Each structure stands twice: as C-alpha cells, then as structure tokens.
Structure 1
C-alpha cells in the first residue's frame, strides 16, 4: 500500500463550516448571518492549551501545571472562527472591548456561547465519530 495518500499535497483540506449562532446578527434583508469555522491543527491547539495553563502551588516548593479549560476553549473558539473577523478593530471598538477573546464574550449571550462551544468541539472533531471508530476496529 502506498503512503502517497498521506503526503501533505494529497490530503483534503477541511472546508469552512457555516452555522448560525444567533438570530440577533442579521443581514440587510433581515436574515440571520452564518458564522464560519475552520478546524485548528494539533500543533496550534497545543500552543493554545499551553497559553491557558499556569503553574499552581500545591504545597511548599511543589508546583503543578493546571490548564484552565474554559480559557482554552475560548482561545480555541477565537482561533476556529474565521468569520466574523474577531480581530477587526472596528468590530471590537463597536463593543467597547480590546481583543478577540473579550469581543467574543461581549457579543454572545450565555446560551449562544454554549452553542458556539458545541460547534467548536464538532468542527475540531472533539465530538466522537462512532462510525469511524467502528470502522477502525474492524
């Protein structure tokens, strides 16, 4: 069996996924606007996880790394969202915030954010795909 299928130039690139996060964001005709998501590679995901990890003191002279998973998911969400551009200064200014993470938290209400995180998990394949697992087992 050839390894050519695994060569970078032969691997299918993931297409952006479009989903409506909220009916509150509408176009000129009053239709809800879909957001776009693109999966993040493992190398970048590890960097984001590291950014969300801090050293916590357990006892005298004993420290342990602890990842803040809420912070990691927020960073992953910002990285996965390709539209709207959360890094756009004018968009941030319109909400009176600085930074993509602050903007995302300001833009969405709690339930919308929860739905967003579910989509982020799906786009990045954190949700289980039983058919692929079963295929691999057989």
Structure 2
C-alpha cells in the first residue's frame, strides 16, 4: 500500500464526521528559519547583545568590489569586537534578534540591522549605476 496521508481503504465509514486524512504531526520549530544556515557569527552577535551592559555599538556599511562582483556588507562593532556580514546574513540576524523576546530593545536592534541592509544595498546600487555610466557599451567602442 502506498504511504501517504489519504488511504481510502482504511477510511472509517460508519463513524459520523470521520475522514481518511490523518492529523498533522506535532513539530517543535523554535524560531524556524527555513533553508538558511545560522553561522557562528550570528550566534556570537546575539550572545554579545545579551551580555549587559553594552558599552559601545556601531554599524557601518560598504559596497565591496571583488573582481566582477559587488557585494553589500555590514560591519558591526560592539564592545571591542567586530563582525563583517553580507546583507543576507544581516537580514537573518535581524529576524533572529527580533525573535529574541528576552533581549531588551530587540525590536530596535532588529530595525537597526534592517536599516543597515537597506543602506548597504543602496551602495551596491550606486556602484552598479556608476559602473553602467563609465563602462563602454557595444555602440561606444572605437
């Protein structure tokens, strides 16, 4: 017999309101983030945010050019430590921080990380726009 949720041959027929669909299995998903790996840097940053009091906190952004690629990066400096994250990782960090309800000001930190992502992406867009202006097109080559 095929495995699946609906098996007509086993469906009860004499019980009122009965159906052949099995109930969903119970799962515990703690702050489920699908298909995203959470690296040690993100966990380090969250642990540092939980340590009290935070004496210094700073965010800066950059568009990093490496060969033909341009990547937005966010530099996080906190209490003498620093991390450099790509925009996708910083977005995941913002989500994880927002889910840390026991962290004071979790929403403010999450908003700051999201704002840094927007700023880094704007810098990438500016580099791409500049590059499109200075790079010769097919019709401009001599």
**TM-score computed with the length of structure 2 as normaliser:** 0.25
Q: Which has the larger radius of gyration?
A: 2
Higher share in helix:
1
Higher RCO structure (Cα 8 Å, ≥6 apart): 1
